[in-house]
Structure 1
Amino acid sequence: MIPNIGKLIREQELLSQSSNSVGISFDQYNSLEDIEAYLNEVADSNNNATLRSIGKTVEGRDIWQLKFSVGSGKPAAWFDCNIHAREWLCFTWSNDRMWRKNRNKYDGELCYGIDLNRNFDDHFGGEGTSGESCAETYRGPSAASEPETQATQAAIIDLAENANLEVLYSLHSYSELWMYAFGWTDELPDEANELHRVTAIGVDALAAVHGIEYTYGPISTTNYPASSNTVDFGYYHGVTHSYTLELRDKGLHGFLLPENQIIPTAEETWAGLIAATLAV
């Protein structure tokens, strides 16, 4: 339970409304339009970077993939961010700060929204998902029913088959956790020892920056059961080193992390990701 959540939401809304900066700022939360403009600038100014839309959301917004070439034969890494809206994009800026799902609604359903991280085509409908449309973890009517999920799955499969994809990171907030497969069961994958080894390296490197110590282990037992998620999908399509990170904090602010923690969070997370990737 986050204390004074209404007060925190109002304070964050005022900060986003009062910002008059031009372009993107790394020490404040930025609108989707500003983020998209920044991604275009990165692609335009870097010969090794390309930006392309891999699909559209239910609302008709582009789903962007920013790709950096790393050289022939070198392993590729996938970073999956903001799969839950309150982590923090779109609809949540203007309507409901704590909205989690996409904005789809099927005929006959009472409520809007499918939890995209319960919609992947892997053990669909399993533990940790709901068949009720009003639930936060509503999985949708069928596996990969959502355009956002379809685009992400296709991109992961393409990279796994054609670009030597060896590492997948799904970045979320909050709880300070670093986790690996599985979410659908408490059984361990065959490579559990290797996944644990790499995770420990990432967690130690992260903690060395600002002293934040992450808890780590399999999704289902470290956090809670969560079937049909990005990490399990990646694992079952050949990306053994698939990880979920739940960033700062442990619940004092939760999804409403103060802006003065953005840069420290980025610094420690990047150090952990680089260390883990190099350890693969």
Structure 2
Amino acid sequence: MVNRIARLPLAVLFLTLLLLSGADARPRVHHADKPHPQPDNPDGPFLADFPPGDPRIPSSHARDFSAGRVRFDGEKLVRLTLRPHDDAEELRDLRDGLVFYLESALALDVWGVHRTDEGGFAVDFRCSDEQLRTVADTLGVEADKRVEMEVVNPDIQEAIDRENVRLLKAHVEKVKGMAKKPGKKPPPANPSNPSAWFKEYHPYPEILSFFSNLAAEHPSLATFTPSIGKTYEGRDIAAITISAVPAEARDALKVKQIWWQGMIHAREWISGATVQFLAHKLLTAHADESDPDHTWAVKVLNESEFTIIPTVNPDGYEYTWSRDRMWRKNRRPVTGSSAYGVDLNRNYPDGWGTGGASKNPYSEAYQGPSPLSEPEVKVLTSYFLSHMKRAVLAIDFHSYSQLVLRPLGYSSYPAPHDAKLKAVGDAARDAIRATSGKKYVSEREIDLYAASGTAEDWFYSVDVGKKTTEDRGGNGRVYGFTIELRPSANEGGWGGDGFILPPESIIPVGEEIWAAMKAVVPKVLDDPLVNK
């Protein structure tokens, strides 16, 4: 049967595999301004009845973690490359079918999708030796010259072990420093010493302390809100608001608003560090007249207000420190299965369930049983709608692949403001290239891969625009973007570690994204989106 399937054309192959698995063959496509039908049986039939520990379930998804930290010894990062094709639409269909097959039918951990320099597509995923053989045999990789398989990293655990050793050394140094002064408490997260803070990643309590201290150092500019709501496990989701305009005058002066958020996916540590860097730079550049960006920061903060969510997914992030470094989702148990977690960036209501997400609760892209089913997404959307009344820009930071993605992710129809969205995305790309030489790609999300229920599309949606653009009579939209940070999947030197980006990259990534924001923010302030 396997050999017979392997000889099928790829388009027919993916259709056959997906039909056999009970999944839809490809994402459903809808117009951006039309209602989206919701699928039946949102939990899906795929793996819900498999017992914990079943070898078909990725080890990081079962409930029983009594053995301690999850390890990935011998698990590989594999890249499947679809070579360029004369029919661009068929190539995109193959790409979507491959991603959906890996994520939903096999519940494998897809790390990313990216374009190749030759014009094809590549899909990176994590798997064991047994799973690798299954994929290779089923897809007939060796016989089909249109597909190439490469092991990018033969042992993911090695990168995790290196990181753990580094973090342990940092902790030991901190403890030694305390031992020299008995009774002394741990040093606070000190925004006044950025070279020390940004030389390492930090657990969630330290991040909260950093932002609290940052606001305290700039009381005329920043307000730290320790909790805008709770996660499933009861942790606070914090926010910081930054503007030079007094809070009581912002409504009357119609101050425009910008939103940045990070770490919606728990394992993407660099996204949170980048948001920390941006907030710190915005405040310190305003305060320091000798800073080259002082004039820019003063002008921008006199005209606008920034709301920053440092960590969207605190439960998942803390879990990456304590148990499973590769954890992506939140930590809510999935009713009726042994699975944990929903992909929060597939749980937003705009376009939810229309393709580019999974109904399989064991999938890393599990969309949840319904839109807004997750407490974290409810908190974020509620706060956005209540706080943002003159919103012009919202960015969701991720890693990895070096991308600036614009709406839409769930529809092949161009967004009504696609030309303006493209101009802003291209400006970010060009500023990064001019600053660091790094190549980011600016494109529509759907042109790279299908994704539904995302923050980016929700920010841009008609309904959000009606409620958050009072300065435009409720007839505006919000520039919505996803920015995928380093490393690049195409550039050498990153070692195939993917999400395990060394801390030496925190400041360089922050600096290139700061340059991007300097290019993007004036454009959106000068030309906010208005519906025709």
Shorter chain as denominator, the TM-score bin is over 0.9
Structure 2 equivalent of residue 58 of structure 1 = 232
Structure 1 equivalent of residue 348 of structure 2 = 120
Aligned length, in residue pairs:
277
Structure 1 equivalent of residue 323 of structure 2 = 95
Q: 1:26 corresponds to which letter in structure 2?
A: F
Identity across the alignment (%): 34
1:97: how far off?
A: 0.3
1:245: how far off?
A: 0.2
Q: Deviations over 1:96-120 (max 9, x none)?
A: 0000000001331220000000001
Q: After superposition, where does 1:7-156 map in structure 2 within 5 Å?
A: 7-19=158-170, 20-21=173-174, 22-24=187-189, 25-47=197-219, 48-52=221-225, 53-71=227-245, 72-88=253-269, 89-156=317-384
Q: Deviations over 1:130-188 (max 9, x none)?
A: 1111001001111101110001111221233x2x1110010000000001111111221
Question: 2: distance between equivalents of 1:257 and 1:43?
Answer: 28
Higher relative contact order, structure no. (Cα contacts within 8 Å, ≥ 6 residues apart): 1
Question: 2: distance between equivalents of 1:114 and 1:99?
Answer: 11
Contact kept in structure 2, 1:156 and 1:234, CA below 8 Å = no
- With 33-42 and 23-32 compared, the bigger mean Cα shift is at 23-32
DSSP-derived class of the 1:85 partner: coil
DSSP-derived class of the 2:443 partner: strand
Question: 2: distance between equivalents of 1:65 and 1:186?
Answer: 34
Structure 1 equivalent of residue 502 of structure 2 = 258
Contact kept in structure 2, 1:177 and 1:245, CA below 8 Å = yes
Question: 2: distance between equivalents of 1:94 and 1:51?
Answer: 27
Runs of 4+ aligned structure 1 residues displaced above 3 Å come to 20-24
1:94: how far off?
A: 1.3
Question: 2: distance between equivalents of 1:74 and 1:210?
Answer: 32
Question: 2: distance between equivalents of 1:87 and 1:128?
Answer: 20
- Is 1:229 aligned to residue 454 of structure 2? yes
Contact kept in structure 1, 2:391 and 2:478, CA below 8 Å = no
Question: 2: distance between equivalents of 1:29 and 1:23?
Answer: 15
Structure 1 equivalent of residue 480 of structure 2 = 242
Structure 1 equivalent of residue 474 of structure 2 = none
Contact kept in structure 2, 1:232 and 1:242, CA below 8 Å = yes
Contact kept in structure 1, 2:334 and 2:361, CA below 8 Å = no
Q: 2:339 corresponds to which letter in structure 1?
A: C
DSSP-derived class of the 1:246 partner: strand
Structure 1 equivalent of residue 180 of structure 2 = none
For the structure 1 residues 144 and 70, does the alpha-carbon distance in structure 2 shift closer, same or farther, using more than 3 Å as the test? farther
1:189: how far off?
A: 0.4
Contact kept in structure 2, 1:76 and 1:167, CA below 8 Å = yes
Name which of 161, 165, 185 aligns with 2:391: 165
Q: Under a length normalisation based on structure 1, what TM-score does the superposition of the two structures give?
A: 0.95
Q: 2:506 corresponds to which letter in structure 1?
A: I
For the pair shown, which has the larger CA radius of gyration, 1 or 2? Answer: 2
1:27: how far off?
A: 1.5
1:275: how far off?
A: 1.1
Contact kept in structure 2, 1:159 and 1:165, CA below 8 Å = no
DSSP-derived class of the 2:404 partner: strand
Structure 2, unpaired ranges of 5+:
1-76, 78-151, 175-186, 190-196, 246-252, 270-316, 466-476, 490-495, 525-532
- With 121-130 and 226-235 compared, the bigger mean Cα shift is at 121-130
Q: Under a length normalisation based on structure 2, what TM-score does the superposition of the two structures give?
A: 0.51
The alignment's C-alpha RMSD in Å is 1.4
For the structure 1 residues 217 and 266, does the alpha-carbon distance in structure 2 shift closer, same or farther, using more than 3 Å as the test? same
Structure 1 equivalent of residue 101 of structure 2 = none
1:73: how far off?
A: 3.0
Question: 2: distance between equivalents of 1:69 and 1:209?
Answer: 26
Question: 2: distance between equivalents of 1:262 and 1:218?
Answer: 26
1:70: how far off?
A: 4.5
Contact kept in structure 2, 1:182 and 1:219, CA below 8 Å = yes
Name which of 381, 397, 420 aligns with 1:194: 420
Structure 1, unpaired ranges of 5+:
none
Contact kept in structure 2, 1:121 and 1:143, CA below 8 Å = yes
